[in-house]
Amino acid sequence: MLHSVAHAPAACLDGGFMTAGWNDVSAALHTSTYSLQALVVACRPLLRPGASVVGLDFDASRAWPGYDWMGVAKAGLEACSRYLARELGPDRIRVNLVAAGPLRTLAARGIGGDGASFEAGWATKAPLGWDAADPAPVARTCLALLSDWLPATTGEIVHADGGHHIIGS
């Protein structure tokens, strides 16, 4: 099962961290965090031993410019995946996340600022480079986690970001 669900109202992004109201923040958390658990519960009857749940993430260990409450929601997603891994592990169901580098997606368009310079900076800093127009490396990482090739891997955040996460500022 692949979880690729996220949304934050505009008030929660691009400098709205200190001003967003609870209704907007709760919508971001509901859609971007709680949805992982809700989807697993809904699909639970279909998940057999050896099954895999993979969610898409963006590194929540840092406070990214413009990401604001979505960053908090992604941090919650990371915690949620660990708890799901603990709960589903005895049934031999794996739960992992893929922390992708920036991609030109519909979701990314919802974050303002200068996306082009953010992407260029990412590509320059990532040891393997990065192409925000190419979703294939992220997709292939998801497929590896969904396959039976990693039967003992659960509760992990696998970075598919060109190695950006390993470089200091």
Tell me which DSSP letter residue 147 carries: S
CATH class, domain 2-166, is alpha beta
pLDDT of amino acid 104? 81
Q: Is the pLDDT of residue 130 over 60?
A: yes
CA angle at 151 for the pair 40 and 51, rounded to the nearest 5°: 30
Q: How far apart are CA 27 and CA 9, in angstroms?
A: 7
Q: Is the pLDDT of residue 136 over 60?
A: yes
pLDDT tens per residue, range 27-57:
999 999 999 999 999 999 999 999 999 999 9
pLDDT tens per residue, range 93-111:
999 999 999 988 766 655 5
Residues with a catalytic annotation lie at: 67, 74
Q: Is the pLDDT of residue 128 over 60?
A: yes
Neighbour-count burial for 117-153, b at 16+ CB within 10 Å, e otherwise: ebbeebbebbeeebbbeeeebbeebbebbbeeeeeee
Q: Is the pLDDT of residue 163 over 60?
A: yes
Start-to-end CA span in the chain (Å): 35
Q: How far apart are CA 20 and CA 147, in angstroms?
A: 40
Nearest C-alpha neighbor of 2 from the set 74, 54, 58, 77: 54
